[in-house]
Structure formats: structure tokens, C-alpha cells
Amino acid sequence: MLLLRPKFKSPNPRRACLALVVQCFCTGECLVSSKKVLIMPSPSQPSPESLPAEGEGLPLAPGPYSPSDMRTLFTGADIWRTLGRLEEAIETLQTTTKSHDEKIQLLIQKTDRTAFAVPVMENAITRHDKDLNQLGKIAHTAKTFGYIALTLISGIGVGILIYFYHRVAPFLFPNGGTSGPKP
């Protein structure tokens, strides 16, 4: 509970009473004991002097307080409420800031782990690139040897077929290879 206490005694009792009313209004607690409260009876019929003049509204506050004092009172009460809302907003911002700090720390840790993994991955990529280049060379060599082997097999196969043809032809064609009459 915040208690408004002036640093020095105010010679103006209206101001001291006004500060007490503001505090009671804002906190909802009355700081004056019931033994010290003076209750004044209100007149049953207003006197003609106390009635406002025509075109003028009712006074803002009963008693010795002027309308400017009452406006000051309500302005002070509004400031008091606004300060309370600001304190709540500050607490919310502090909670949010703490949450964001934790998230930033997690991101920093993940970034550190990623920064450690990147060189390892780059080395693996370099090794795999070398391996693939060697495999490409081996595949090219195998393809070249395949073409050479196919050419040799084709040449040898044609030679073997010609050899068999000359060996088997006299048995297949006894007339010398012609089937028609001799001239």
C-alpha cells in the first residue's frame, strides 16, 4: 500500500485533505479511523443562496473544494490508475523479454552446432567429389575397353564364321556351290 505523506506539514489543510481523499479514492481504503471522521448533517431544504444561478450547473463538489481542486483530484486519480496499468505493462514486457532472451540463447546454441557441422560437411563433400571424379574416370576407361573388346570380338567372330563357311561349304554345296546346270 502506498501512503502519501508530505515531506513537510502543509499550512493549507484543504490540500492535505485533498491528498488524503485522492489516496482513499485510488486505493479503496480509508486511512482515517472512524473516531476521527466528522459527519456533518446536510440541510433538508437548500437555502436560496446555495442554489446555483440560472444557466449555471450544480457545483462539482460540496463543501470548501473548488471545481479546480476536484478536477485536480480526478486527474490525480487517473494518473494513479494509469501508473498501475503501466506497471502491469512493464511486468508483461519483462516476461516477454525473458522469453525472447531464452529463444535467442537456443538459436545461438543451434547456430554454434550448425557452424561446427558445416566444415565437417564441406570436407565430406570434397571427399565425395574426388571419389565421384575417380569413378567417372574408371567408367570412361571401362567404356573404352568395352568398345575395343566389342571390336575385337566382332572381327574375330567374322573370321571364325568365314573359316567355318569354307570348311562346311563343300559338304553343304557338293556341286561347287552352284545349283544350276554347268555350261
Among residues 24, 21, 96, the alpha carbon closest in space to that of 65 is found at 21
Predicted TM-score (pTM) of this structure: 0.32
Answer yes or no: are the C-beta atoms of 30 and 24 closer than 8 Å.
Answer: yes
In a 3-state reduction of DSSP, which class is residue 145?
A: helix
pLDDT of residue 83: 85
pLDDT of residue 3: 45
Which position has the higher pLDDT, 67 or 14? 67
Phi, psi of 42, rounded to the nearest 5 degrees: -95, 145
The answer on pLDDT for 132 being more than 50 is yes
Q: Round to whole Å and give the CA distance between 127 and 161.
A: 50
What distances in angstroms separate CA 59 from CA 35, 39, 49, 69, one per listed residue?
Answer: 29, 20, 13, 12
Which position has the higher pLDDT, 115 or 58? 115
Q: Express each pLDDT in 75-111 by its tens digit.
A: 988 888 888 888 889 999 999 999 999 999 999 998 8
Averaged confidence pLDDT in the chain = 75
Q: Side chain identity at 167, as an amino acid letter? A: R
Q: Round to whole Å and give the CA distance between 147 and 131.
A: 24
